[in-house]
Chain A
Amino acid sequence: MKSEALSHIRICDFTGQLAGAGATRWMAAFGAEIIRIEDPVRLGKWDVLRGTSPFVDDRRGHEFGGCFNNHNVEKLGVTLNLRTERGKELLAEIIAVSDAVTENFAAGVLERLGFGYDRLKEIKPDILYVSNCGFGHIGPYRKYKTWGPIVQACCGLTFTSGLPDMPSAGWGYSYMDHHGGNFMAMAIMAGLIHRSRTGEGQWIDMSCTDAGANMLGPVALDYTVNGRPLRRDGMPYSNRNQFPAMAPHGIYEADGHDAWLALAARDDRDWQAIAGLMGIDDQRFDDLAGRLAYEDELDDAVRAWSSGRDRFTAAAELQAVGVPAAGVAKPEDRIDNDPNTEAWGLWPTVTHGEMGRVRVDGIPAHFSETDWVLERGGPLLGQHNRQILGGLLGHSDSELTDLAAEGVI
C-alpha cells in the first residue's frame, strides 16, 4: 500500500547522508516514486552511511548501515556506472521520465558527471533541478566543505546553545542535516507546485547555512534594529528565555543518574501555582521583574524542590496545577515508554532486504485522506534495477544481463 498524496511524482534522486536523503524521504513516505541512483563500482559508498553504525547485529558492509536504512525508507535503488556511455544513456532515460532531479553533492560534482543543469534541460526542458549543499552553488564559499556541525557553526545555531562564559554547547547532533533535508523538501515541492501551475522548470539552489540562519529571526532583528548583538556579556543563556522573558524557565536537577526536569512559569498565575506546590514563599518573586532580577536565587529555590524528586512524577505534579513541565526524556523514555509516541505510531517497523525488520523514525503529521506509509526499508544496492530499467524504461531481461556483465549496472 502507498500513500496517494504524491503518487503522481517521480524523482531521479542522487541525495545521500541525511541533509539530502531526508528530503526525498518525506516525499517517499507520501507515495512519490524516488529512484535513488548509486554507483555500482564504489558500492554506493558516496553515501558513507551505507556502511556505518549503528548496526542491527554483527554483520557489516554496504547493506547494513542503520542510518542509511532509516533515511532511505520507501525509495527505489538503481545502480548506474556513470563512467560508461551506456550508464549515462540510461540515466538520461530516467531523467526524461522524471519530474525532478535532486542532489546534495559538493557544488559542481553533478556537472562534472556530465549532468549539469544545461544538460538536464536538454534531456527534459521542464525538469526541476534542486541542488543542496552547505553553502549553496552561489557565493564565495560555494566550494567549502561542510557537514552538520560546520553548517550549524557558520549559520549561528551553535552559538545559541550554551551558558555564559562557557564554550558553546551547540547541538549534539546534526540538527541542520534534518532541516537541510526538510528545507530541501520544501524547495522541491515549491518547485513542483510552480511547475504544475506554469509548466516551467528551474534550478533551485538550496544552501543549508541559509536555511539555518533563517531559523534565528527575533535575535537577528534585535541586532539589525536595536544594535544589540547576542555575543555580549551574560549571553547566551539558552535554558532561560528571552523572547518572551519567563522566570523560572530552565532545566533543573532531579533525582537519579543524569535526571533532569524542565519547567517554566509563563505568567504570574503559573508562578503562584509553582510557588504553592513547591512551598516557596518569597516576595521578591511575586512579579516577573522580581523573578528576573533574582533569577539565580529563584533557580536555587526551584532546584531545592526538584532535586529530590523523580523527573516524571514532578512533571505530573506541575502539570496537575497547570504548569508546563516535562522530564528530560532519554531515548528509551520517549521511544519505548511514551504513550503518546506509541499512540501516534511514531516508530514504524520497516522490512529491509538484509537487516530484516527494523524500527525507523515515523512522520510527525497524520493526513486524514492520504496518510504516509512506511513499510519498505532502504533499498539494497541495485535492488530495483529490473523494476526501473526493465519495467519503467522497457529494457529486456537479456539486455539487463548484458549491462550487468559489462559493469554498467
Chain B
Amino acid sequence: MTGNDLPGALAGVRVVELAGEASAYAGLLLAGMGAEVIVVEPPDGHHTRGFEPFLHDEPDPERSLWWWHYNASKLGVTLDLGDEDAQDRFRSLVATADVVLESERPGRLAELGIDHDTLRADHPELIWVSLTPFGRSGPRSQEESIDLTVLAAGGPVWSCGYDDHAIPPQRGGGNQGYQTGSVFAVLSAQTALLARDHTGQGQFVDVNMHAAANVTTEFGSVQWLVAGDEVQRQTGRHAAIEPTTFTRALSADGIDVNTGFPPRSARDFAVVVEWMESLGLKDQFEEFFFLEMGAQLEEDLHLSQVGQDPEVTAMFGAAREAVRLISENITAYEFFIGAQERGLAVGIIYSPEEVLADPHFQERGFPVEVEHEDLGRSFTYLGAPYIAPKSPYRIRHRAPHLGEHNSIIEALA
C-alpha cells in the first residue's frame, strides 16, 4: 500500500528540536513526514526520559516508552546549553537547519543568547516555531502550566464529564493539550515552509497552547460567540444547551458502545425491524408495533416533532430503545459491525490497545513494527495518520539513545 522505501514529503528539511514535553509530538509528526529531526537534550538526558511507562517497568533513561513513542524517527544529540562552547555549537547546528522547534519558557533562550531574534538575524530564511502554554508575550505568559491546566483554562474540560454535575468535569487522556498545541506547531512549520517557497523568507511563529485549546472546543466556543449560550456537559455526548438523550449502552460482553442517532427514516426503521426479528427480540419488545409503523413512513421523522406529536414521539422512542435492546443482547463488536453493515452509524468504545487488534486498522497498516536492534527485537507502534502513497508518513527508526548522533555536532565544531 505504501512504498516504504520512498522518502517522505519533508525529505531534505532539517528540523532542530529542543527536547520538550509539549513539543515532542510536533517533532514526531515532522519526522514521520520525512524531515530530519535532530532532538537536542542535556548531557544527562532530557527529563522526559524519566517518564513512565518503562520497558518491563524498569526505570532507565533508555527504557522510557514515553521517550520511545514521542522521539521515534528522530536523531539525538546532547548539548549543555548553559555552556558557552555548547551554545556556539548550537548556533552552528541551527545554521544548518530549516526549522527550529522549541517549547522553552519565554525568556530562557534570550538569556542564553540563542533565541530566535539573535539566530534569525544571520539566517533570514530560518523558520523558528515556538510552542508555549500562553504564547510568548501575553499577560499570562509566565504562568506555571501543564497539560491539565492548559485544558482546564482553555475550555475542553468544561465540556467533558458526566450528567451529574457533582462529579468534577473530566480532562480526557493522552496529553491532548500538549498534542493540540503540537498539531498547530506542525501546521505552522508546513505553512512557513510553503511560504518560504515563494517569498524566500523564513519567519518566527509563536504557537499558543491555551489559544489552541480555546479554538478546539467546537460548540463550546461557537455557541457563546454566536448566541451567548453556555453549553453544559453530559455523559459521553456533546455538551449542549438543552439536555440530549443517551447514546451509550453496555453490550453483552461488558464493553460500551455509542448507539448514535436513533433511526428516523423508513429504511432505518425497516433495518431495525429485520435485525430485531433475526435476533429473536421481537416478542420481548412491547413497542415493536411502533417500529413497524416507522418502516411505513413516507417522510423522515423531524426531531422538532419529538415531544410534540405523540406518534412521532413513540416511534422515535421505540427506535432508540430497540437499538439499545439489541446492543445489550450481543457483543459490542457484533453490534458495531451489525449496525454499520446495515447502514446505521454507531461506534464501539475501544480502549486504545484494542484499536491495534482491529482488522480495519490492520488492513490499513496502522500498527507498525519498529526494530530495536539494541534489544534484539521489534515492538508494535502506532502508525500513520494518513496514507500518502508517493510521500509516505512512517516511523523511520526507534528513538535515539542519549547522545547517539553526537557525531552531527562534532562535525560542526
B349 contacts which of A153, A209, A222, A266 (Cβ < 8 Å)?
A153
A282 contacts B by Cβ under 8 Å: no
Cα distance A33–B353 in the bound complex, in angstroms:
41
* A335 contacts B347, C-beta separation under 8 Å: no
B243 to chain A, nearest CB (A): 13
Asked whether any CB of chain B lies closer than 8 Å to the CB of A138, the reply is yes
Chain A residues with Cβ below 8 Å from B238 are 149, 172-174
* CB nearest neighbor in B for A232: B351
Q: Is B226 an interface residue (CB 8 A)?
A: yes
Tally of chain A residues near chain B (CB < 8 A): 155
Known contacts A213-B352, A262-B157, A343-B138; is A238 also within 8 Å of B171 by CB?
yes
**When chains A and B are docked, how far (Å) is the Cα of A370 from the Cα of B220?**
29
How far, in angstroms, from A187 to B154 measured CA to CA in the complex?
Answer: 26
Shortest CB–CB separation between residue A125 and chain B, in angstroms?
Answer: 13
Which of B150, B179, B222, B355 has the most chain A CB atoms inside 10 A of its CB?
B222
Q: Which residue of B lies closest to A331 (CB)?
A: B224
Closest to B152 in A: A262
User: Taking the complex as formed, is B289 at the interface, i.e. its CB lies under 8 A from any CB of chain A?
Assistant: no
A-B pairs with beta carbons under 8 Å apart, 17 shown: A141-B340, A155-B355, A172-B160, A172-B238, A175-B156, A189-B190, A190-B10, A213-B366, A217-B382, A260-B168, A264-B149, A327-B153, A330-B230, A334-B214, A343-B137, A344-B211, A364-B212
In the complex, chain B residues 138-180 whose Cβ is within 8 Å of any chain A Cβ: 138-141, 143-146, 148-162, 165, 167-176, 179-180
The stretch from A38-46, A223-231, A382-390 touching chain B is A223-231
A358 to B83, CA, bound (A): 51
Mark interface residues in A173-188 (1 if CB within 8 Å of B CB, else 0): 1110111001111110
Asked whether A332 lies within 8 Å of B230 as measured between CB atoms, the reply is: yes
Q: Does B383 contact A (CB under 8 A)?
A: yes
Chain B: interface secondary structure? mixed
Q: Decide: B214 and A364 in contact? CB cutoff 8 A.
A: yes
Q: Which B residues lie within 8 Å of A193 (CB)?
A: 9-10, 190, 193-194
Q: Assess the B388–A264 pair: CB atoms within 8 A.
A: no
> For residue B145, which residues in chain A have a CB less than 8 angstroms away from its CB?
324, 326
Whether A340 and B221, one on each chain, are in contact in the complex, defined by CB atoms closer than 8 angstroms, is no
Q: Please indicate which of the listed interface residues A69, A162, A196, A205 has the most CB atoms of chain B within 10 Å of its own CB.
A: A162
Asked if A147 meets B345 with Cβ closer than 8 Å, knowing A173-B159, A190-B391, A191-B391, the reply is yes
Complex interface bits, A344-375 against B, C-beta within 8 A gives 1, otherwise 0: 10110000000000111111111111100000
By beta carbon, the residue of chain B nearest A235 is B351
Known pairs A224-B380, A338-B140; list 11 more (Cβ under 8 Å): A69-B226, A138-B387, A154-B336, A156-B355, A172-B237, A202-B389, A207-B386, A207-B387, A214-B383, A364-B209, A367-B195
Tell me if A190 and B33 are in contact (CB < 8 A): yes
Contacts of A328 in B (CB 8 A): 152-153, 157-158, 169
Q: Is B411 part of the contact surface with A, judged by Cβ < 8 Å?
A: no
Task: Give complex CA distance A194, B12 in Å.
Answer: 11
Interface string of B223-253 (1 = CB under 8 A from A): 1111101110111111100000001101000
Tell me whether B237 and A370 are in contact (CB under 8 A).
no
How far apart are the CA atoms of A366 and B194 in the complex, in Å?
16
Query: Chain A residues near B359 (CB, 8 Å)?
Result: 140
In the complex, what's the smallest C-beta–C-beta distance from A56 to chain B, in angstroms?
A: 6
| Residues 93-108 of chain B, each 1 if its beta carbon lies under 8 Å from chain A, else 0 | 0000000000000000
Complex interface: chain B residues within 8 A of A344 (CB) = 135, 138, 208, 211
A interface: dominant SS:
mixed
Cβ-defined contact, A364 with B160, below 8 A: no
B269 partner residues in chain A, CB cutoff 8 A: none
Residues of B within 8 A of A166 (CB): 162
Q: How far is the CA of A197 from the CA of B34 in the complex (A)?
A: 13
Query: In whole angstroms, how far apart are the Cα atoms of A130 and B145 in the complex?
Result: 36
The size of the chain B interface, using a CB distance under 8 A, is 156
- Is A285 close to B, CB under 8 A? no
Q: Is the CB of B214 within 8 A of A191?
A: no
Q: Once bound together, how far apart are the Cα atoms of A117 and B48, in whole Å?
A: 44
Contact A341–B214 (Cβ < 8 Å): yes
B285 CB-CB contact with A under 8 Å: no
Q: Mask for A51-88, Cβ within 8 A of B = 1, else 0?
A: 00111100000000011011000000000000000000
Residue among B161, B202, B208, B343 with the highest chain A CB neighbour number at 10 A:
B161
* B363 contact from A138, A172, A185, Cβ within 8 A: A138
Query: Chain B nearest CB: distance from A119 CB in Å?
Result: 18
Minimal beta-carbon separation of B73 from chain A (angstroms): 13
Give the contact stretch, choosing among B49-57, B305-313, B321-329.
Answer: B49-57
Given contacts A136-B364, A186-B29, A319-B143, contact A239 B230 (CB under 8 A): no
Q: Which residues of A contact B162 (CB under 8 A)?
A: 163, 166, 169
Q: How far is the CB of B349 from chain A (nearest CB, A)?
A: 5
Q: Which of A90-98, A241-249, A391-399 contacts B (4 or more CB under 8 A)?
A: A241-249
- Tell whether, in the assembled complex, residue A170 and residue B352 are in contact, meaning their CB atoms are under 8 Å apart: no
Residue numbers in B under 8 Å from A206 (CB-CB): 385-387
Known: A167-B256, A194-B391. A213 touches B382 (CB 8 A): yes
Set A5, A203, A335, A362: member contacting B191, Cβ < 8 A: A5
A230 touching B352 in the complex, CB below 8 Å, given contacts A70-B222, A174-B238: yes
Q: Write out the residue numbers on chain A whose beta carbons fall within 8 Å of the beta carbon of B195.
A: 4-6, 30, 367, 369-370
Q: Which residue of B lies closest to A251 (CB)?
A: B168
Min CB gap A317→B, angstroms: 12
How distant is the Cα of A360 from the Cα of B243 in the complex, in angstroms?
25
Contact B224 A153 (CB under 8 A): no
Interface residues of B in 366-390 (CB under 8 A from A): 366-367, 379-390
Known: A194-B390, A204-B386. A173 touches B219 (CB 8 A): yes
Q: Does B275 contact A (CB under 8 A)?
A: no
Tell me whether A272 is interfacial, beta carbon within 8 Å. Answer: no
- Stretch of B37-45, B63-71, B276-284, B400-408 with 4 or more beta carbons under 8 angstroms from chain A: B63-71
